[in-house]
Structure 1
Amino acid sequence: MLKDKPVISNQHGALVMAFLPFLYAGFKSGFSPLHFWFAFSWLFLYLFSYPFLSLFSKKPTARNKKWAIVYFVLSLGFALPVIINKPDILQFLPIILPLGLVQTYYAKQKNERHLNNDIAGIVTFGVIGMASGYLVSSEYDWAILIHPTLFFIATTFYVKSMVRERRNPLFMELSLGLHLLLAVIYWFLGDKWLYFAYLIGFIRAALVPSFGLNVKQIGMLEFVTVFIFFICLIYSP
């Protein structure tokens, strides 16, 4: 049954974004044995999304159907120990499902690159991060949702201004404006670590467009930027 090559998205940056809030929650609230099961459940749910949404955005194939089922079953299997030991974790499901419907809608429209679709995915990552923190603290830590979500939205404007919307000056202006605005906000909030992260992001958004980088080089540079943000996030008060 599993002899053919797995269906996996080549958007490696999205995988990093998917797990950053999860890891941030672990460093902030602590890790528990349940995080092992939750991490693999989330990984397979993330992998499930690509072949599943491809059923709507492309011509449905038996291969996509098969791997969507395989990933979903694996995700559910790893989720069971978490649900059994922490059943109230299911309260996050009513938030995640509508966000999934938004992504399904844009897949049907064959418009997965729409900004609203990107934001729906980013918020999903943040909600999973909140759930990761809830496993240990049983509290809603909104910082786990808000900080990564804002950064990834600013990053999305930057990446779009460099690739698909490079001929649209509005995205460049939004990228620079949002990075600068958030840097100022965090400065006045007294969070020097996140101020520094957005300052780096602003400098990157202002200077890199003049370097003439290709898509792969832009992506590699983003790994560095996200790593800096993650370190700043961990040390942020």
Structure 2
Amino acid sequence: MSRRGRWIPDQHGAWAMLVVPFAAGTFLGDPSWLHLPLFVCWLLAYVTAFHLQQYVRLRRLSRNPRAAGRHVRPLITFGAVLAVVGVPLLVLRPWLLVAVAAALPFCAVNTLYALRNRERALVNGLVAVVPACGALLMALRLGGGSLGDGATACAACLLYFAGTVLHVKAMIRERRNPRYLYGSVAYHAVALVCVLLMNPLWAVLFAFCLLRAAFLPGRGLRVKAVGLIELGCSAVLLALLLGSAG
């Protein structure tokens, strides 16, 4: 594994979930220079938590002490930079402490799943979706918007990314388990109805997501192709959220 691969998480699907809600919240409000350090802190918090979770998992499970040890330097480095950038931001905007406190329980659950070596569990993935989508509200609040202003967009993100977690499992790790296929289709049908009540324009994307949940599993798509489709859908989601602003 390359040095970059050891420092930067290879969970490619997580990056869209980190970027899209934050970007939506930023541009649904009034972007300011403070969004840049907040975004840096947001990404640093993710990679710091990732290395912490890998450290506790491997320290418990691996017989090779180097397996857990290789996460120590990234954990300390990213954590230190997070503190350097984040503390001044908290001084400038103390209400961000509430956002941090709200995210910690979800991070704790993810860490517990890592400790038990069950990171790929469906519940663990769904738990991670909540603070990621909550970043929309955090970024919007920083830009002068209210939580109520972003509630519908945040709900749409939650519905979309929760569906992505379920769909990707039905496509890859659980592709031989029909319950995941049926569950994914049922979920996306319900999500489509919910989004129709929010904004009929957004429902165009969710209708496509329902079709891809029903017809793509079992087609033998490569993992890269699955990822590219999800990245494209995430980009469309962001465009729809921003296009409906105002």
* TM superposition score normalised by structure 1: 0.91
Q: Percent sequence identity over matched residues?
A: 26
Q: 1:24 to 1:190 in 2, by over 3 A?
A: closer
CA distance, structure 1, for counterparts of residue 198 and residue 68 of structure 2:
52
Per the alignment, residue 63 of structure 1 pairs with 70
Kindly indicate whether the alpha-carbon contact (under 8 Å) linking 2:156 and 2:195 is maintained by their aligned counterparts in 1. Answer: no
Per the alignment, residue 230 of structure 1 pairs with 238
* Deviation for aligned residue 1:142: 2.3
Name the Cα RMSD after superposition.
Answer: 1.7
Q: Superposed, which structure 2 residues align to 1:74-223 within 5 Å? A: 74-137=81-144, 139-140=146-147, 141-187=150-196, 189=197, 191-223=199-231
Consecutive unaligned residues in structure 2, runs of 5 or more = 60-66
Name the count of aligned residue pairs.
233
Higher relative contact order (CA 8 A, sep 6+): 2
Kindly indicate whether the alpha-carbon contact (under 8 Å) linking 2:25 and 2:135 is maintained by their aligned counterparts in 1. Answer: no
* Deviation for aligned residue 1:158: 0.7
* Deviation for aligned residue 1:215: 1.4
Aligned-partner SS, 2:185: helix
CA distance, structure 2, for counterparts of residue 207 and residue 79 of structure 1:
44
Letter in 1 for 2:35: H
Listed one character per residue, the Cα deviations across residues 29-84 of structure 1 (whole Å, up to 9, x for unaligned) are 12111101101111111111221110122136332111111111111222233212
* Deviation for aligned residue 1:138: 5.5
CA distance, structure 2, for counterparts of residue 145 and residue 68 of structure 1:
30
Consecutive unaligned residues in structure 1, runs of 5 or more = none
* Deviation for aligned residue 1:211: 2.7
Correspondence 1:49 to 2:49: yes
CA distance, structure 1, for counterparts of residue 22 and residue 200 of structure 2:
23
Kindly indicate whether the alpha-carbon contact (under 8 Å) linking 1:8 and 1:51 is maintained by their aligned counterparts in 2. Answer: no
Listed one character per residue, the Cα deviations across residues 122-146 of structure 1 (whole Å, up to 9, x for unaligned) are 1010222211111122622323432
